[in-house]
Amino acid sequence: MRLSNHNRRSETGDDSERGSASAEVVISALLLFMFLVLGVGIARLVEARALVDEAAMQAARAAALAPPTGAATSAARSALTQLANHQECPTPHIHTRYTPTTGAGGAGGSEAVEVSCAVPLSDLFLAGFPGHLTVTSTQTAPRNPYQQTA
């Protein structure tokens, strides 16, 4: 009397599916790792975009509050010190532009500040990111029309 028939596949020599579970685990782990690296890259880009937007807004406000004697650029640069300390934007670039108000008195106007930053992505090459991506933000702040000109 034969009690078990549990090993019939190995008796017939059909081993075509042998090891397929380990191959599936390896492929699944690789895909999971790729999605994780993709998520880290997207998070880095989102954080860099938020940092550049915030820095441009603060720089425009600092430039608008500075005396209108050409100190706007230095005030905007000093507002960018927070951005230079982050790994997402090690070398920020800034461009300021003053737009005077047209009309009676000529007081007021606005200060526009453009901040650009090359976000390094070379450590995320597995997810297909390029070496770096440039993020740019432009913010405008109005000047006080009642500010004294020295």
pLDDT of residue 5: 54
The single-letter code of the amino acid at 28 is S
% the chain with pLDDT above 70: 70
Q: Give the domain range for residue 59.
A: 22-142
Indicate whether 12 belongs to any domain.
no
CA distance 31 to 127: 10
**Measuring CA to CA, how many Å separate 88 from each of 58, 115, 129?**
18, 14, 14
pLDDT (tens digit per residue) in 77-105: 776 776 767 777 777 778 877 777 665 55
| Residue 56: pLDDT band with limits 50, 70, 90 | confident
pLDDT at 74: 74
User: What residue type is assigned to position 70 of the chain?
Assistant: G
**Residue 6 lies inside a defined structural domain of this protein:** no
Q: Say what the pLDDT of residue 123 is.
A: 67
* pLDDT, position 102: 63
Indicate if the pLDDT at residue 24 is higher than 80.
yes
In the predicted structure, residue 6 carries a pLDDT above the cut 60: no
Q: Is the pLDDT of residue 134 over 70?
A: yes
Q: Give me the pLDDT at residue 28, please.
A: 94
Domain count across the chain? 1
Q: What is the pLDDT of residue 27?
A: 92
Q: Residue range 110-135: average pLDDT?
A: 77
Report if residue 101 sits inside a domain.
yes
Mean pLDDT across the chain: 76
CA distance 126 to 129: 7
Residue type, 29: A
Closest of 45, 127, 39, 126 to residue 89, by C-alpha:
45
The verdict on residue 2 lying in a domain is: no
Residue 13 lies in a domain: no
Residue at 10 is within a domain: no
Structural domain contains residue 8: no
In a domain, residue 15? The reply is no
